[in-house]
Structure 1
């Protein structure tokens, strides 16, 4: 079924009912999607500072009150315990569980962060006639850990994660123009071309997501990615961090147009 024309509230209802359990790229076209990271309150300030210092991979859209699962700025009728198709539980840096709701994991000391997602700039790219390969081929976007170190803050440090979309060079230039106007959802690419230059040893084996075919005459184009907190969890090994599963985002009530600089 095509969920592109769903409203955000309709999509979240279907997710809560277990009827949408697929990567959310292409769902609710025109509305911003968000990455999520949840931490105990004693780590929340350090993580907020980390996001402030690393706005390309971690552009903050919303932060919940301590103990509240309600994202009041981005979707005040939503509940972050149930409205994402898949969640990952990290304990001491290891992903221990992937679940479809957080009912038994949520506690009154948790703080949730919603971070801008590159799926939000795919709609204007498609509207401009650009191909987005993982949408064409109906698979999750490929994501890679890089050798680009984030700016440390408190206990948080580690490498940036990037998402990749293959493009012809002329299309890549247009994609840069489109995404530069959207800094709240990662903005312009951070790298074009040679994957080894940013520490990616094999473009055919992403660390998260699924492989995209790169056709003759195309180059890989890399954007900073909101899966970076999952890489940070593997590096820092906090007692607990809860995230979305890569590619399975939170759908907000915010139109993408509100996040663009015109």
Structure 2
């Protein structure tokens, strides 16, 4: 929301990665992962039946900014050594959303009752990874400062269709002064596996956002005088595409509640 004052910064409680993952694995932490596990790559999840997997792989290849592919599992296997052999994709995200025929059905803390032998998990990069780089560079990330989930919005920007998948881009928003926005563009451009540079900044209506104070997902954050909203492609895009494309079943992370991997952000950055 647009405001003129500032609040004291919020600093999320830091936990060692192993302890945080253990808490998530036993459903003792189900909140947003923004600002947690600094330095480690956070990931979006899309889990589909094997007979839909090739179409979605093609969709990721055609839309690498929205869906930066980190890895794909074998059918029925919830593990992927590339992101960490100790990570169980079916229980190490804080919350999952289950869709049937494109319609949201339920939210669950783990997939013990939903996992199937034909499910393939896609692990996709997330903008929470570059938030750490922004903070390390001295920039203020408002959703972290205010202890809120990031603001996410549906847009009118069409993704490139692939097979049975099509739909519009979802974006995440972080406000900055014009000077800091330029710096944020420079920093995030080095992280293509975390959505890279912004896709838009300035007037929200130009990309189909009618009310900046009412995000479609996540929480509203304050936008102070002299700041502009900056928009990055978001890993919630597949959830929008799922609603449009209607696979018989699909499971994703809950918006803002990511799978935290063992990969280091800097290992995937480009100079």
Q: Same fold (TM over 0.5)?
A: yes
Which consecutive segments of 4 or more residues in structure 1 shift more than 6 A?
Answer: none
Gaps of 5+ in 1: none
Q: Does 1:230 align with 2:239?
A: yes
Contact 2:12–2:147, Cα closer than 8 Å, also in 1: no
Work out the CA distance in 1 between the residues paired with 2:49 and 2:261.
23
**What does residue 57 of structure 2 align with?**
48
TM-score (norm 1): 0.97
Question: CA RMSD, aligned part only?
Answer: 1.1
2:248 corresponds, among 232, 239, 243, to 239
Call closer, same or farther: CA 1:2–1:209 in 2, change over 3 Å: closer
User: C-alpha distance in 2, partners of 1:155/1:10?
Assistant: 40
Q: Which runs of 5+ in 2 are unaligned?
A: 1-10
Which residue of the other structure, out of 192, 198, 209, is the alignment partner of 2:201? 192
**Counterpart pick for 2:16 among 2, 6, 10:** 6
| 1:248 and 2:257 aligned | yes
Structure 1 residue 5 displacement after superposition:
4.5
Offset of 1:10 from its aligned partner?
2.7
The alpha carbon displacement at 1:4 in A equals: 2.9
Q: CA deviation at 1:46?
A: 0.3
Q: Aligned partners of 2:12, 2:241: CA distance in 1, in Å?
A: 34
Find the aligned partners of 2:137 and 2:14 in 1 and give their Cα distance: 17
Within the candidate set 122, 139, 142, 1:133 is matched to 142
Q: Which residue of 2 aligns with 1:72?
A: 81
In the other structure, the counterpart of 1:204 is 213
**Residues 22-43 of structure 1: CA distance to partner in whole angstroms, max 9, x if unpaired?**
1001111110000000000000
Aligned length: 261
Corresponding residue of 2:223: 214
Give the superposition deviation at 1:226.
0.6
Paired residues of 1:6 and 1:27 also in contact (CA < 8 A): no
